[in-house]
Structure 1
Amino acid sequence: MGKKLVVGVLASGRGTNLQSIINSIEEGRLDAEIGIVISDNPEAKALLRAENHGLKQQCIESGDFADTEEYEEEMIEVLEENNVDLVAMAGFMKILSSYFIQHYSNRIMNIHPSLLPAFPGTDAQKQALEYGVKVSGCTVHFADEGMDSGPIIMQAAVSVLEDDTVESLSKRILAEEHRIYPEAIQLYADNKLQVRDDRVEIL
């Protein structure tokens, strides 16, 4: 029996994707463990979710550091102390620098509520509705130095209904996020993901 994949989760808000990862582990669908949950927001519900499941959690606020590099060095130190193999961003609202991205090259996953490369950045569901697309969805990808631009691992499509609001579309997309994020992490745990020429091959 090999060593379990240790995941470090970065979250800024409600932590529903964190919860889906926790549930998948507890229900035996994801063969991994969460080493640490880090938030930049002391009010993040994600920290409470971690605490409720007996997981280590820590708030690291960027305002407590002189600059981004010092802040990220602290995050890296905490991740390393907890033997993290894979960093999973779950609604983490800070942009990570090249320094951090390169330290964890192809070891940072992110989930985004659109079918990338369409509608990167914030308010993706609002962007999709305003553009009038008939299909939206979500994307799990490896984070790179661009905005929601790294190699795509998995996607799930969601039909856009005529009477959709940002809230109703977001809710249906979120259900798919909760399904595919743990699946993507399991593929990583099984060594089934290979990045070649900025594309992810599923082995």
Structure 2
Amino acid sequence: MKPFRIAVFASGEGTNFQAMVEAWQQGYFGEPDATTIELLVSDKPQAPVVQRAIQAGVDTYVFQPKEYSSREQYELEIVAELKRREIDLIVLAGYMRLLTPTIVDPYMGRMINVHPSLLPAFPGKDALGQALSYGVKVTGITVHFVDNGMDTGPIIAQQSIEVQQQDTAETLAERIHDIERTLYPQVVAQIAKGKVTLEGRQVIVQA
């Protein structure tokens, strides 16, 4: 039986990628041969996440966008690689490139992202700064399917945290990242085990 194959897209430090790898290696996604982290895709050849992938024994697909005439051009190459490897799920983990329908459409319902707010509040860039400027008392993270809008895809899971009076963007970000590294692998595990169903905008998660 074909394993459930995951590709992670990341551009930076790779702490969420590392959390995924550790969960996978510990059998959190199911039996070791039932689910694999097949590939890391990165637009930053020198990003620490690339070294994390190499150390974990995960194949990498690294490219430099400036070498292409358009987003669509490099996305076509990425899609070809994903199809060649029979990827079942794309996990965006700090991937800093906007995606076009070239890659979103063929993986609609099979691509997820984590966003540092309780969507639909504060979509887009600097969600933590938006939350602090607005003066909210509670914020959190959202794991959602990706569509062609800006953080508008169907919501799979959310977790809240209180905003403390002394919080800065840095202190809030640290606490947000802590819960990301726990909740995001949980959602990936649920999807890998077939416990997540998408019906329109409604996401059904089995216990």
Shorter chain as denominator, the TM-score bin is over 0.9
Which is further off, 61-70 or 18-27? 61-70
What is the alpha-carbon distance in structure 2 between the residues aligned to residue 64 and residue 83 of structure 1?
A: 26
Where do residues 142-161 of structure 1 align in structure 2 (5 Å cutoff)? Answer: 142-161=145-164
What is the alpha-carbon distance in structure 2 between the residues aligned to residue 20 and residue 149 of structure 1?
A: 25
Do residues 8 (structure 1) and 7 (structure 2) align? yes
Where do residues 23-102 of structure 1 align in structure 2 (5 Å cutoff)? Answer: 23-31=22-30, 32-102=35-105
| Unpaired runs of at least 5, structure 1 | none
Given that residues 47 and 58 in structure 1 are in contact (C-alpha distance below 8 angstroms), is that contact kept between their aligned partners in structure 2?
no
1:128 Cα offset (Å): 0.8
What is the alpha-carbon distance in structure 2 between the residues aligned to residue 8 and residue 80 of structure 1?
A: 11
SS in 1 for 2:13: coil
SS in 2 for 1:180: helix
1:29 Cα offset (Å): 1.5
Q: Find runs of 4+ consecutive structure 1 residues off by over 2 angstroms.
A: none
User: Normalised by the size of structure 2, how large is the TM-score?
Assistant: 0.94
What residue is the counterpart of 1:117 in the other structure? Answer: 120
What is the alpha-carbon distance in structure 2 between the residues aligned to residue 199 and residue 127 of structure 1?
A: 27
Do residues 196 (structure 1) and 199 (structure 2) align? yes
Q: Which amino acid in the other structure matches residue 3 of structure 1?
A: K
User: Normalised by the size of structure 1, how large is the TM-score?
Assistant: 0.95
SS in 1 for 2:161: strand
Aligned length: 202
Given that residues 35 and 83 in structure 1 are in contact (C-alpha distance below 8 angstroms), is that contact kept between their aligned partners in structure 2?
no
Do residues 17 (structure 1) and 20 (structure 2) align? no
SS in 1 for 2:90: strand
Find 1:105's aligned residue among 95, 104, 108: 108
What is the alpha-carbon distance in structure 2 between the residues aligned to residue 60 and residue 77 of structure 1?
A: 14
1:87 Cα offset (Å): 0.4
SS in 1 for 2:41: strand
Given that residues 76 and 102 in structure 2 are in contact (C-alpha distance below 8 angstroms), is that contact kept between their aligned partners in structure 1?
no
Q: Give a deviation string over 1:159-182, Cα, whole Å, max 9, x none.
A: 100000111111111111111111
| Unpaired runs of at least 5, structure 2 | none
Find 2:185's aligned residue among 161, 182, 185: 182
Do residues 167 (structure 1) and 170 (structure 2) align? yes
1:44 Cα offset (Å): 1.3
